A and B are shown apart, each in its own frame.
Chain A
Amino acid sequence: MAQAVPAVQKWWNGGKSPFNVEYGKIMMWYFLMSDAFTFGAFLISYGTIRFATNSWPDPNHVFNSFPGLGAGYPLLFVSLMTFILIISSVTMVLAVQAGQDMDRKRVAKYLVFTILGGLAFLSCQAWEWTHLYHEGAWWGHNPFPNHNGSVATTNFSNFFFTITGFHGFHVFSGVIINIIMLIMTLQGKFDQRGHYLMIEKAGLYWHFVDLVWVFVFTCFYLI
């Protein structure tokens, strides 16, 4: 029965999904849309305050440490974080593809890689937060001067911690979701169901977390 979809399908006529996907995936997509507006609102607020402020600290002078190397390496640590997240996104895609091939072992393997990637990212973030905290930055405290040497408002750290914190919270919940997926895979739940659609939905969420990082990374570290 698994026919190729005819060219002129009447998608909207009822009795079928106009998107050719099951409802759970639609829900996940629209949930991500709505989450995009949550993050969008945060980042746009950050932009608004930056536009409303005369000058701002230079991120290259703030985020310039690397564990074991000390200060003076702008962009290095955040590049590492970015690549960790991209790679974990790639392993997630591979897990989804393995799921479509109904290959339980491969799904489990790639899920483990993805979880490890997520944990590595969270560890990096934990290190960075601790480091900044020891430099005196926290919600309501900002030790870093503006790039022109004048006293900065606290909003630099306020937004940094709020938004990366919110993103980190998403990574964390993504890791939890992936761990649940891994357990379910190992138990053979998806083989019983006959499909790995849950992995695809978890995958969408995980890629979204990666996607948000692309924006957070640009807004806080690059410009």
Chain B
Amino acid sequence: MEQHSTTAVYHHEEHGHAGGGTKEVIRITVYLTVITLVELAIGFYMYKAALPEGFFRHFLKGLICALMLWKAFYIVAYFMHLKHEIRNLIMTIVVPLFLFVWFIIAFLADGNSYKNLRNKYDPYHIEQNDKKAPVEHEHGAQKEGTIE
């Protein structure tokens, strides 16, 4: 039982100088809110302006992804307290995440290539893709464009 109390004391003390306390939490909450609002604004702009497919639209989507990662950083670093852990732990968490880089690139590149191959060699695929859906679909209308 003696051990237990030491643990508690230790953690208590540690908290005093390691974490940023309630102030930090409020600061991060504000950041997260602002970033989310910016994301929503961009999303809404893409919708309202009815941007055509093209560089600018892709750029905005990329921007949203960057903001997403920024938010993820705040959550992991402050809410999950990782920033205040010691370096060893931070490294073992962060470094393996780099595996996602090749994971994402390879998967998406191959998905894209699959599309190109089908568009090139499968005429039926193109024909199928150009089939127009009934123009206005009402609420509760039964499953247009679905299978079965």
Residues of A within 8 A of B (CB): 1-2, 4-5, 11-12, 18-22, 26, 29, 33, 36, 40, 44-45, 47-55, 58, 60, 71, 74-75, 79, 82-83, 86-87, 89-90, 92-94, 96-97, 100-102, 134-136, 140-146, 149-152, 154, 193-195, 197, 200, 203-204, 207-208, 210-211, 214-215, 218, 221-223
Q: Mark B65-91, 1 if CB is under 8 A from A, else 0.
A: 100100110011011110001101100
Q: Chain A residues with Cβ under 8 A from B32's Cβ?
A: 86
Query: For B120, what are the chain A residues with a Cβ–Cβ distance below 8 Å?
Result: none
| Across-interface contacts of A20 in B (CB, < 8 A) | 85-86, 89
Knowing A33-B93, A47-B104, A134-B140 are in contact, say whether A204-B19 is a contact too (CB < 8 A). Answer: no
Asked whether B132 lies within 8 Å of A74 as measured between CB atoms, the reply is: no
- Answer whether A47 and B5 are a contact pair too, CB < 8 Å, given A21-B85, A97-B22: no
Q: Give the distance to chain B from A190, nearest Cβ to Cβ, in Å.
A: 10
Partner of B104, one of A21, A44, A83, A150: A44
A194 pairs with B107, CB closer than 8 A: no
Check if B88 sits within 8 Å of A11, measured CB to CB.
yes
Please indicate which of the listed interface residues B78, B119, B132, B148 has the most CB atoms of chain A within 10 Å of its own CB.
B132
Residues B133 and A211 in contact, CB atoms below 8 Å apart: no
Decide if B80 touches A90 in the complex (CB within 8 Å): no
Q: B111 near A207 (CB under 8 angstroms)?
A: no
Contacts A51-B112, A86-B32; A149 near B135 (Cβ below 8 A): yes
Contacts of A203 in B (CB 8 A): 80
Interface residue SS majority, chain B: helix
Residues of A within 8 A of B146 (CB): 136, 140-143, 154
Contact A89 B89 (CB under 8 A): no
Cα A51 to Cα B115 in complex, Å, equals 7
Distance in angstroms from B130 CB to nearest chain A CB is 6
- Is there an interface contact between B68 and A207, defined as CB atoms closer than 8 Å? no
Chain A to chain B contacts (Cβ below 8 Å), 25 pairs: A2-B14, A5-B86, A11-B88, A33-B93, A45-B107, A52-B111, A52-B112, A52-B115, A54-B115, A54-B119, A54-B129, A74-B47, A86-B32, A89-B79, A94-B22, A97-B25, A100-B11, A101-B12, A143-B146, A145-B133, A149-B135, A150-B133, A208-B80, A210-B79, A222-B40
